[in-house]
């Protein structure tokens, strides 16, 4: 079993605090990206909206979420010791699972056969969309 990322909020307040903390980094990423794209001041003001920065913040927060990956057996063993709502996508007949323990209440999981990196990225988006988006 491996862990990818480090963001594992334990409460709604913790999630909000961490989401707020990535705000300045999101603004910097957007600003530097616009600079690399050679936006002048007028184009920057026109195209870089609050929605753009918020989308960057959402993506940054999601990309840092802690995701565990392992075999189906490792996942089942980990889950057996916890009382959680489970949202699982994919097939039970696949060998590997990626999962995120959201707020110690909900496990968002996705199965995969061999593309671990893609599964982790997809799972982060799913966890954000299903658990954190409404909260944040």
Per-residue pLDDT band for 54 (boundaries 50, 70, 90) equals: very high
What's the average model confidence in pLDDT over 66-91? 96
Within this chain, do residues 88 and 29 fall inside the same structural domain, yes or no? no
User: For residue 92, what pLDDT is reported?
Assistant: 87
Give tens-digit pLDDT for 103-134.
999 999 999 999 999 999 999 999 999 999 99
Task: Judge whether 18 lies within some domain.
Answer: no
Tell me, yes or no, whether 78 and 57 share the same domain. Answer: no
| Strands across the sheet containing 96-102 | 2-4, 67-71, 96-102, 106-112, 85-89
Q: Are residues 90 and 130 both part of a single domain?
A: yes
Distances (CA, A) of 123 to 4, 54, 108, 127, 130: 11, 20, 7, 6, 10
H/E element, 74: helix 72-80
Is 12 among the domain residues?
Answer: no
Which domain range does residue 116 map to?
A: 2-6+65-135
Give residue-wise pLDDT tens across range 81-107. 999 999 999 998 999 999 999 999 999
Shared domain for 86 and 117, answered yes or no, is yes
Quick one: what percent of the chain has pLDDT higher than 90?
A: 98
Question: How much is the pLDDT for 17?
Answer: 97
Query: Would you say residue 35 lies in a domain?
Result: yes
Looking at the structure, tell me whether residues 73 and 125 fall in a common domain: yes
How many domains is the chain partitioned into structurally? 2
Residue-level pLDDT at 132: 97
């Amino acid at each position: 079993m491996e862990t990818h990322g480090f963001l594992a909020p334990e409460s709604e307040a913790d999630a909000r605090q961490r989401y707020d903390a990535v705000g300045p980094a999101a603004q910097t990423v957007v600003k530097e990206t616009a600079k690399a794209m050679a936006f002048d001041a007028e184009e920057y003001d026109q195209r870089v909206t609050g929605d753009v920065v918020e989308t960057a913040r959402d993506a940054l927060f999601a990309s840092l979420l802690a995701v565990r990956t392992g075999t189906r057996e490792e996942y089942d063993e980990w889950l057996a010791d916890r009382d959680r709502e489970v949202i699982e996508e994919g097939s039970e007949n696949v060998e590997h699972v990626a999962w995120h323990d959201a707020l110690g209440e909900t496990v968002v999981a996705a199965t995969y056969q061999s593309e671990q990196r893609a599964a982790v990225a997809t799972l982060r988006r799913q966890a954000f969309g299903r658990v954190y988006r409404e909260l944040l």
